[in-house]
Amino acid sequence: MRVSKFIILPAMVLLTSSCALFNTAKQDSPQAVKQAVETPESWAIKAKQYDDDSINWLKTFNDPMMLKLIAEGKANNINLRVAAGNMDKAWLLAKQSGAALKPTADLSLGGTQSGSVDGGASNSNVTVGLQASWELDVWGRMKSGVDAATASAQAAEADYIFAQHSLSGNIAKTYFKVIEAKLQADITRKNLATLEKGMRITQVKYDNGLSSGLDVALNRTNLASAKEQLIQIEGSERDALRALEVLLGRYPSASADIPNILPDLPLQPPAGIPSELLERRPDIVSAERKIASAFNATDQAKAARLPRFSLTASVNSASSSLSDVLDPANAVWQLAANLMAPLMDGGRRKIDIEIATVEQKQAIANYAQAALTAFSEVEDNLDQGAVLARRETALSEAFRHSNKAYSIAELRYKEGEIELLDTLQIQQQAISAESQLLSIKRAQLEQRINFYLALGGSW
**Domains in the chain and their CATH numbers?**
28-102+140-308+361-455 (1.20.1600.10)
Task: Quote the pLDDT of residue 25.
Answer: 46
pLDDT at 273: 80
pLDDT reading at 436 higher than 80 = yes
In this predicted structure, the answer to whether residue 392 has a pLDDT above a threshold of 90 is yes
The per-residue pLDDT for 205 is 80
Q: Average of pLDDT values for 90-112?
A: 86
pLDDT at 423 over 90: no
Please tell me the predicted confidence (pLDDT) of residue 24.
46
Q: What is the mean pLDDT of residues 329-344?
A: 80
> Is residue 341's pLDDT more than 50?
yes
Q: Which residue has the higher pLDDT, 114 or 129?
A: 129
pLDDT at 27 over 70: no
**197 versus 21: which is more confidently predicted?**
197
Highest mean predicted confidence (pLDDT) among 69-78, 98-107, 135-144, 412-421: 69-78
Residues 6 or more apart in contact with residue 346 via CB below 8 angstroms: none
Is residue 1 predicted with pLDDT exceeding 50?
Answer: no
49-70: buried (b, 16+ CB within 10 Å) or exposed (e) per residue?
ebeeeeeebbebbebeebbebb
Q: Any long-range contacts for 123-127 (C-beta under 8 Å, 24+ apart)?
A: 123/320, 124/320, 125/318, 125/319, 125/320, 126/318, 126/319, 126/320, 126/321, 126/322, 126/325, 127/316, 127/317, 127/318, 127/325
pLDDT at residue 156, as a whole number? 95
CB 198 within 8 A of CB 219: yes
DSSP summary character for residue 322? G
Mean pLDDT of all residues belonging to the chain: 84
Residue 391 burial (C-beta neighbours within 10 Å; 0-12, 13-18, 19+): middle
Q: Which pLDDT score is estimated for 268?
A: 82
Q: What are the contacts of 64-69 at 24+ separation with CB within 8 A? A: 65/175, 65/258, 65/259, 66/171, 66/172, 66/175, 66/263, 69/171, 69/175, 69/244, 69/248
Residue 436, Cβ neighbours under 10 Å: how many?
Answer: 16
Q: With bands split at pLDDT 50, 70 and 90, how would you rate the model's confidence at 333?
A: confident
Q: Is the pLDDT of residue 139 over 60?
A: yes
Residue 117 has pLDDT above 90, yes or no: no
204 burial type by CB count under 10 A (0-12 exposed, 13-18 middle, 19+ buried): exposed
Surface-to-core class of residue 417, CB atoms within 10 Å of its CB (0-12 exposed, 13-18 middle, 19+ buried): exposed
Helix 78-98 × helix 64-76 angle, to 10°:
50
Query: What confidence tier does 55 reach under pLDDT thresholds 50, 70, 90?
Result: low
pLDDT per position as a tens digit, 210-261: 778 888 888 888 889 999 999 999 999 999 999 999 999 999 999 999 999 9
Structure confidence at residue 5 as a pLDDT band (50, 70, 90) = low
